[in-house]
Amino acid sequence: MINKLNDAEIRYEEISKKLTSAEVISDKETFASLMREHKILTPIIEKFREYKETKKAFDEAKEILESPDSELKELAEEEYKSAKEKMSVLTEELRVLLLPRDPNDDKNVVVEIRAGAGGEEAALFVGVLYRMYSMYCDKAGFTLSLINEQETGLGGYKEVSFLVEGAGAYSRFKFESGVHRVQRVPETETQGRIHTSTVTVAVLPEAEDVEIEIKPSDLQIESCKSSGAGGQHINKTESAIRIIHIPTGIVVECQDERSQFKNKDKAMKILKTKLYEMKSAEQHDKIANERKSQVGTGERCERIRTYNYPQGRVTDHRISLTLHSISSFLDGNIDEMINALITADTVEKLKNSEY
C-alpha cells in the first residue's frame, strides 16, 4: 500500500505543477481532466502526509524508548502509544480512500420512476416517490428539473423522469435503482385490505458530450403538443419533443419546458445518457467473474425496498435495515438509509481489497 501511495504522491505533484502551466491552462479539455484527477487525489495525499507525520513521531518515540539512559521515556511512551493508535486509524482510512472509485460518482443523474404491478395504486406511488426524491434534493442541495411525466386519471403517474444536478449526485442516488414495493390500504379499498404494488426506479449517470457521439442521420425528431397539467399553454403549442434513435429504437420525450429548443436540448441529454448506459452495460457484460456484492447490483428485477404503511416501516432488503419512520422517510429524510448502503458497499469492497 505504501508503494502505491508514494506513486500517487509523485503523480499528485506532477499534476499540481502542470496545472500552473500556461499551455495546460489554455487547453480546456486537458485542464478539466487534470483538475478532476487532482480533486480525486487530494484527500488521499492529505491523509497519506498525515500518516507520514504520525509515522515519524512514532519512530522518534520508539527510538527514545530503546535508549537505555533516556530521561524522556515516560513522555516517549505516551507519544508511542498515541502515534501507534493513530497510525492504525489512518491505515484503515487510507484503505478506504484507495478503493476503486466509481467514475460516475460525481456526475449528475437522470432518474426514471415507472409504475409496475398494482395498476392505479402503483401509479399513485410513483408520485409519492417523486415527491420523496424532490424533497431530498431540496435538503441535500441538489437541483431537480422535471424531464417528462405521464399522468393517469386519478392523480398518479405512469412514469416520471427528472434530472438531478449537483456534485456527487450519482454517488447518493445510485443505490435507489431497482424495484420498490409498497404495502398499504388504497383509498378506494372499502374492505380495509392491504394491497401490494411495485414501482421501478432507474438511476442513470448523465453522459458527457465527449463520451457519446450521435450522428444527426440516426435521429428522427418529432414535435408534438404537451399533455398534462399546465393551464392554457398545454395542448396549444407544439413545444414537446420526441426523439427516436433509429439504430437502437430508443425513444425520448421531453415536455417540461415551454420552449421547443429547450425541450430538444434536454431530450438530447437524456438520449446521450441512455446510450451511455447501454454502452456501459455492454462493457460490463464482457467482464468475467464480476463481483456480486450484496449492495449496488442495481438490477431492475430486484426487490430492493419495501414501504409498509400499516406498520410504519421502510425495509431495505439488501442490507436488512428497517427504519420505523416511514412518514419522515417519505418526506425526503433518506440520508440514514443512503449512508448505510454506502457503508455496506464499502465494507464489501474492503473484503475484496488487495490491501
- The model's pLDDT over 128-143, given as tens digits with 9 standing for 90+, comes to 999 999 999 999 999 9
Q: pTM (2 decimals)?
A: 0.68
- pLDDT score of 237 more than 60: no
Strand pairing class (303-308; 178-184)? parallel
- Span 44-50, average pLDDT: 93
> What is d(CA 202, CA 112) in angstroms, rounded to the nearest whole number?
5
Least confident of 12-21, 181-190, 198-207, 331-340: 181-190
> What is d(CA 108, CA 16) in angstroms, rounded to the nearest whole number?
26
CATH class of 216-285: alpha beta
Least confident of 42-56, 222-236, 325-339: 222-236
Mention every residue, 6+ apart, whose C-beta is less than 8 A from residue 155: 124, 127
pLDDT score, position 95: 85
pLDDT digits (tens, 9 = 90+) for 61-76: 898 888 876 677 888 8
- pLDDT score of 291 more than 60: no
Q: How would residue 351 be classed by pLDDT, with cut points 50, 70 and 90?
A: confident
**Coil, helix or strand at residue 277:** helix
pLDDT score, position 236: 47
**Coil, helix or strand at residue 172:** helix
- The angle, 0 to 180 degrees and rounded to 10, between the axes of the packed helices 335-351 and 119-140 is 80
- Architecture of the domain delimited by 109-209+298-351: 2-Layer Sandwich (3.30)
- Span 318-334, average pLDDT: 95
Buried b (16+ CB within 10 A) or exposed e, 175-189: bbbbbbbbebeeeee
pLDDT digits (tens, 9 = 90+) for 174-200: 999 999 999 998 866 667 788 999 999
The residues of the chain that CATH labels 3.30.160.20 are 216-285
The residues of the chain that CATH labels 3.30.70.1660 are 109-209+298-351
Phi then psi dihedrals of residue 336, to 5 deg: -60, -40
